[in-house]
Amino acid sequence: MAAALRASVTHVTARRVTSDRATVELADTQQSVELRLAVMGANEAGKSTLIGVLTQGELDNGRGSARLNMFRHVHEVRSGRTSSLSHEILGFDAQGNVVNYGCSQLMTAERIGERSSKLVSLLDLAGHSKYQRTTVRGLTGYCPHYAALIVSASAGITPVTEEHTALLLALELPFFIVVNKCDQRDPGRLLPALRAGLKHAHKVA
């Protein structure tokens, strides 16, 4: 069973009862640690696509194929815009390998949970300002440990990026920035603006 779970077994005590039987006390070192990560940033920055690619292990086709699993409503599929809260899990085994893919079986959330020693739950938030309330509800209700602020290299820092940065600072939620769509534009060009934006936002907050 331990081999199937890629877990290590540690004997705490062992006592032979009869010549062919023994009782063994085992330490449970495989309790999965869950980390909740809110994925934020402007609309079209590629949040849902990034979550889809990370959890399914297949690249996007540039027209939104990877994000389909993230949508819950038909209008989201039609518009390509996230309007509701959804999440996907990314599981890691004890060696740090992703368990979501590379297996012939269909990986349900339950199966990912069973095979993982660490789970990262990725919460897909809405970037469009029309759905800002939903994003705030997700951030406050879901109690994420960290946030990833996605910035598109082609669109750069937008008013929504600034709004989301302000929200993260107000909630004192630790976050990191991911520059996406690097195939469209050199991400290096964004770094001075990001540094300046963060310094300014920090002073205001």
Ligand X SMILES: Nc1nc2c(ncn2[C@@H]2O[C@H](COP(=O)(O)OP(=O)(O)OP(=O)(O)O)[C@@H](O)[C@H]2O)c(=O)[nH]1
Question: Which residues bind to ligand X, rule: CB under 6 A?
Answer: 43-49, 60, 62-64, 67, 80-82, 126-128, 180-181, 183-184
Binding mask 63-102 for Mg ion (x = CB under 5 A): -------------------x--------------------
DSSP 156: -
- Quick one: CA torsion of 149, 78, 84, 172, rounded to 10 degrees? 10
Binding mask 43-62 for Mg ion (x = CB under 5 A): ----xx--------------
Whether residue 34 contacts residue 19, with contact meaning beta carbons closer than 8 Å, is answered with: no
Alpha-carbon Rg for the chain, nearest whole angstrom, is 21
184's contact among ligand X, Mg ion, none, with CB below 5 to 8 A by partner kind, is ligand X
Minimum separation from the CB atom of position 172 to ligand X (A): 23
Whether residue 87 contacts residue 122, with contact meaning beta carbons closer than 8 Å, is answered with: yes
Q: Which residue is nearest to ligand X (CB)?
A: 127
Give the three-class secondary structure for 121: strand
97's contact among ligand X, Mg ion, none, with CB below 5 to 8 A by partner kind, is none
3 residue type, one letter: A
HSE-up (13 A, CA, CB side) for residue 144: 27
Minimum separation from the CB atom of position 6 to ligand X (A): 31
8's contact among Mg ion, ligand X, none, with CB below 5 to 8 A by partner kind, is none
Minimum separation from the CB atom of position 99 to Mg ion (A): 24
- CA pair distance 143, 204, nearest whole angstrom: 24
- Note the residues at the interface with Mg ion (CB under 5 A): 47-48, 82
